[in-house]
Amino acid sequence: MPEGHTVHRIARQFRADLVGHALRVSSPQGRFAAGAARIDGRRLESATAVGKQLFLGFEGGDVLRVHLGLYGAWDFYGRVSPVVAGQEARGSMGAPRLRRAVRMGEGETALRGPDGGAEDFPPPPVGQVRVRLAAPESVADLRGPTACEVIDEDAAALVVERLGPDPVTAPDLRAAGEVVVDRVVARGVPVGQLLMEQSVVAGIGNIYRAELLFRARLDPWTPGRHVPRELVRAIWHDWAVLLADGIETGAILTREDLDADGRARALADPEQRHWVYGRAGLPCRVCGTPVLVEEMATRKLYRCPVCQA
């Protein structure tokens, strides 16, 4: 499932290439025809991420809300600007003539097709495209989301109100952290489950959950009410740091033991990025004990039984 950093990068991509344009909106798959017709031809005025939810605001007050869920992804075609200043865009650089795309979802993968003439843009939809948003030089295709709906601004505000704090959108990082602390220590649910509840804290998925708890040396099965407030507070601030880094790099890199060269190698090699996630049976990078994989609330949970005793 795409985690918070990816959705914030998607919002940046929209702000770079589609916000400010009147968009042609369609549903090639047909399942979103009514919603597409409602916002077709309107100018896209904003693109905001809160946790794992994306909110695209159109003139007139309608909002396209998208939750990618486990299998959703956006493909961007045509002009695909750098998401972060100074980075090279992964896809065609100012070249609507090239049939290329950047996919943003579970991971970010450059999709490339044959070069062609101007008639190749926009490219025909590939697969089950729920909604297509087309600007003059950029196209965004959405596939496989858990949620895709057009709602008004009041309904969008209610969705955000039900979410936990997001470090990127929180107006006061310290105050938002206290909200998270209060919601964790009030519950007898395992802290590993609470961190995945979007009403507690927004944006954390399975990878960040496992890594944050390892970095805190905290047993994921500890009931929330038994976790010291200062430790929950530290996890919140650690989440803010990791999220900002993920937005900048486009990768979840959680090892703080790496120097500059080590970080570069880890960014190129996903197997070097994490302390415990995806490393079941492999030795813990700190103590050498085999990493465990368990199930918590139907999701895989990775932990070191010694470091997180």
What distances in angstroms separate CA 2 from CA 67, 105, 155, 241, one per listed residue? Answer: 9, 5, 23, 18
Q: Which of 178, 197, 299, 305 is catalytic?
A: 299
Residue with tokens 């803010």: 240
Say yes or no to pLDDT of 25 above 80.
yes
**CA angle centred on 198, ends 297 and 190, rounded to 5°:** 40
2 assigned to active site: yes
42 assigned to active site: no
Say yes or no to pLDDT of 114 above 80.
no
Q: Which of 12, 52, 130, 263 is catalytic?
A: 52
Instruction: Give the C-alpha separation, 256 to 258, whole Å.
Output: 6
The predicted structure's pLDDT at residue 115: 41
CA count, 13 A, side-chain hemisphere, 267? 12
Portion of the chain with pLDDT greater than 70, in percent = 90
Residue 1: pLDDT band (50, 70, 90) is: confident
299 assigned to active site: yes
Portion of the chain with pLDDT greater than 90, in percent = 84
Positions of CATH 1.10.8.50 in the chain: 165-303
The predicted structure's pLDDT at residue 84: 81
Q: How many residues does the chain have?
A: 309
Question: Quick one: CA torsion of 151, 64, 23, 132, rounded to 10 degrees?
Answer: -130
Q: Which of 3, 108, 137, 211 is catalytic?
A: 3
Is 301 within 8 Å of 294 (Cβ atoms)? yes
Right CATH number for 4-159 from 3.40.50.620, 3.20.190.10, 1.10.260.30, 3.90.1520.10?
A: 3.20.190.10
Q: Integer distance in angstroms from the first to the last C-alpha of the chain?
A: 28
Say yes or no to pLDDT of 94 above 50.
no
When the pLDDT of each residue in the chain is averaged and rounded to a whole number, the result is 91
For 235-255, what is the mean pLDDT?
A: 96
Positions of CATH 3.20.190.10 in the chain: 4-159
300 assigned to active site: no
Is 44 within 8 Å of 133 (Cβ atoms)? yes
In this structure, which topology does domain 165-303 adopt according to CATH?
Answer: Helicase, Ruva Protein; domain 3 (1.10.8)
Two structure tokens written together for 119:
């008639």
- Quick one: which of 32, 4, 38 has its CA closest to 147? 32
